[in-house]
């Protein structure tokens, strides 16, 4: 059972969100979205069961509390809103219900965690005037509402994941069809990065191709990257300290930059990348069947971030398909060349 909280919750570095929690919230479409009737139903039922003037579902982001649902005596709020972590939360919520609390007096509040796969996504909270004592029935209602919110998020994630997988499989099928009918390489790589971006909208995929004669990189596909940024990396000579893709192409190994602003490998073009809105870059080499590096597949993003296991699997699978497409293109070019030139 949850207990009443004497100290103000949700303050301090312990609530700085990790990447897995943020990824769950983003996949479920819960952040920066309008109120939701299902969550309003849960907070409304909780407020009624606990006879509390305020019941709220709070989601935890890196430096804020996002109030997904707030129910008072006037009914559910007609908008979702955020509260900075430093704000006195219980007093703030009670004020939203037009209940004034004397200065320096702590409102009564209790909370229960909203959990999905061990990740704390947020809290279900009830608030009342000072000196309110929560009964066992109140706390059971609170815990039940938090469990209901957890279940609702898990159902949405399951449905979303099923749809994402179906789309990714369909994209892979289209890729194999394009490769089989010898479609132009830009079309194949375009479908590859589009499929990745639909599956994981929080990243910006890009394929760059390696010219082995000059050891330079050239854009293959990256429609969501700024065009001026793609132009800037066209012709970059690979090396152990040349950004993330240049390093991955040089070493033939997965290369991770969690923060472009801090990685010394990005020093020559750091300002240009950051100005383009890019803060992380994870790059894996695209290889031929004999191990030759053909290019790289990279996933960029707008904030410092480390890849999750799912990202690494997505990159590995994408690099494999890109390698098949590039090798097929090279084989076709060789056949055309041989057909047009006399062997003697």
Same domain, yes or no: 145 and 216: no
Q: Where are the alpha helices (DSSP H) in 261-308?
A: 270-275
> Which of residues 157, 174, 198 is at a domain's end?
157
Does residue 165 sit within a domain? no
Determine the Cα–Cα distance for residues 89 and 107; give it in Å rounded to an integer.
10
Q: How many domains, the chain?
A: 2
Residue finishing a domain among 119, 137, 157: 157
1 within domain boundaries: no
- Same domain as 204, residue 90: no
Residue 307, CA atoms < 13 Å, CB-side half-sphere: 22
Rounded-to-integer distance, Cα 295 and Cα 252, Å = 9
Residue 76 has, within 13 A of its CA and on its CB side, a CA count of 20
> Has residue 283 been placed in a domain?
yes
Q: What is the pLDDT of residue 17?
A: 44
In a domain, 29, yes or no: yes
DSSP lists the bridge partners of residue 161 as: none
195, 272: one domain? yes
Residue 91, pLDDT score: 85
For residue 218, the cross-strand partners are 209
C-alpha span between 233 and 268 (Å, rounded): 12
What's the pTM? 0.72
Residues 144 and 215 both lie in one domain:
no
Domain end: 137, 157, 177, which one? 157
Residues 151 and 241 in one domain: no
Residue 329 lies inside a defined structural domain of this protein: yes
| In the predicted structure, residue 254 carries a pLDDT above the cut 60 | yes
Same domain, 335 and 192: yes
Is 204 in the same domain as 336?
Answer: yes
Q: What length does the chain have?
A: 344
Distances (CA, A) of 1 to 97, 124, 128, 149, 334: 26, 13, 19, 16, 70
Q: What is the CATH number of the domain that holds 304?
A: 3.30.450.40
**Are 126 and 232 contained in the same domain?**
no
E strand or H helix at 76: strand 75-76
Any domain includes 173: no
| 240 and 153 belong to one structural domain | no
The answer to the question of residue 106 being in a domain is yes
User: What's the rounded Cα separation, in Å, for the pair 140 and 69?
Assistant: 19
% of the chain surpassing 90 pLDDT: 59
Radius of gyration of the chain (CA): 26
pLDDT, tens digit, 9 for 90 and up, residues 29-76: 777 677 788 999 999 999 999 999 999 999 887 667 888 999 998 889
Kindly state whether residue 170 falls inside one of the protein's structural domains: no
Residues 194 and 151 in one domain: no
List, for residues 280-316, the tens digit of each pLDDT value. Answer: 999 999 999 999 999 999 999 999 999 989 899 999 9
- 133 lies in the same domain as 250: no
Q: Which domain holds residue 287?
A: 185-340
Q: Please write the tens of the pLDDT for every residue from 192-251.
A: 999 999 999 889 999 999 999 999 999 999 999 999 999 989 999 999 999 999 999 999
Q: Clarify whether residues 104 and 209 are in a common domain.
A: no
């Amino acid at each position: 059972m949850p207990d009443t909280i004497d100290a103000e919750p949700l303050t301090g570095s312990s609530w700085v969100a990790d990447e897995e929690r943020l990824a769950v919230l983003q996949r479920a479409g819960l952040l920066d979205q309008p109120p939701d009737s299902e969550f309003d139903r849960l907070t409304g039922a909780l407020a009624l069961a606990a006879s509390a003037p305020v019941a709220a579902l709070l989601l935890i982001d890196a430096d804020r509390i996002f109030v997904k649902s707030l129910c008072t005596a006037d009914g559910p709020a007609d908008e979702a809103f955020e509260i900075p972590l430093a704000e006195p939360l219980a007093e703030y919520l009670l004020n939203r219900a037009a209940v004034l609390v004397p200065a320096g007096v702590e409102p009564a509040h209790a909370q229960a965690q909203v959990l999905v796969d061990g990740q704390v996504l947020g809290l279900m909270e009830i608030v009342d005037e000072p000196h309110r004592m929560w009964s066992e029935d109140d706390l059971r209602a609170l815990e039940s509402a938090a469990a209901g919110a957890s279940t609702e998020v898990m159902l949405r994630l399951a449905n979303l994941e099923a749809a994402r997988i179906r789309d990714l499989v369909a994209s892979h099928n289209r890729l194999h069809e394009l490769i089989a009918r010898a479609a132009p390489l830009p079309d194949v790589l375009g479908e590859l990065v589009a499929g990745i971006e639909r599956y994981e909208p929080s990243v910006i995929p890009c394929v760059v191709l390696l010219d082995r004669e000059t050891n330079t990189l050239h854009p293959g596909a990256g429609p969501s990257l700024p065009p001026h940024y793609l132009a800037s990396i066209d012709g970059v000579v690979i090396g152990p300290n040349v950004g993330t893709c240049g390093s991955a192409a040089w070493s033939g190994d997965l290369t991770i930059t969690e923060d472009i602003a801090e990685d010394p490998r990005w020093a020559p073009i750091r300002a240009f990348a950051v100005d383009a809105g890019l803060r992380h870059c994870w790059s894996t080499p695209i290889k031929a069947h004999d191990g030759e590096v053909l290019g790289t597949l990279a996933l960029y993003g707008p904030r410092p971030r480390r890849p999750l296991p799912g990202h690494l699997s997505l990159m590995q699978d994408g690099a494999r398909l890109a390698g098949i497409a590039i090798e097929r293109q090279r084989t076709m070019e060789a056949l055309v060349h041989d057909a047009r030139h006399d062997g003697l």
